Structure 1
Amino acid sequence: MGMLRIMSRRGDDRITWDPKKADANDPEAQAAVREAERIFQEARMRGATAFRVSPGPTERIDKFDRTAEQIVIVPRVVGG
């Protein structure tokens, strides 16, 4: 399963998808991937940072990876 986690004041919001079903043209899985990618792009445009979390080192990413086990989006931190 793939998961997009978006950190916010409320904690985190999550969107999940099954990459195997998406590759098999399952409409529900493909819709979940499209929604996750849309949210990813919007967050990046607002200055958020994204990380691919998987076994091994965590890696900062600039493009949505539908094969990632987990992507965490951290909004831009504003001091004050």
Structure 2
Amino acid sequence: MSRRGDDRISWDLRKVEASDPEALAAVREAERIFREERMRGATAFKVEPGKPAQRIDEFDRTAEQIVMVPRVVGG
């Protein structure tokens, strides 16, 4: 999630491993968003079917899905 709503960036891991330029660019963009959102205090979760969500602190390019949850400020 971002200020613009949901951002979805996807890539084929096989293409990343084969050094496909478009797949590598998608991974770089996802890593950039991950890093920026974590710096803003967001929490990241790796989501896999049939498993509980797992909190992660580092980007995982092999994750099927990563969900970023912005910091909630209460008062």
* Both proteins in one fold, TM over 0.5: yes
Q: Which residue number corresponds to residue 70 of structure 2?
A: 75
Count, aligned residues:
74
Q: Normalising by structure 2, report the TM-score.
A: 0.90
Name the residue aligned to 1:24: 18
Letter aligned with residue 70 of structure 1: Q
TM superposition outliers: structure 1 runs of 4+ over 3 Å: 8-11
TM-score (norm. length: structure 1)? 0.85
Cα distance in 2, alignment partners of residues 46 and 8 from structure 1: 11
What is the identity percentage for the equivalent residue pairs of Structure 1 and Structure 2? 78
Which of 1 and 2 has higher RCO (CA within 8 Å, sep 6+)? Answer: 1
> By how many angstroms is 1:9 displaced?
5.5
SS at match of 1:73: strand
Provide structure 2 residue ranges, at least 5 long, that are not aligned to the other structure.
none
Report which of the two has the higher share of strand: 1
What is the root-mean-square deviation of aligned Cα atoms in Å?
1.3
Q: Which amino acid letter does the alignment assign opposite residue 79 of structure 1?
A: G
1:17-56 alignment runs, 5 A limit: 17-55=11-49, 56=51
The 1:29–1:73 alpha-carbon spacing in structure 2 relative to 1, beyond 3 Å, is: same
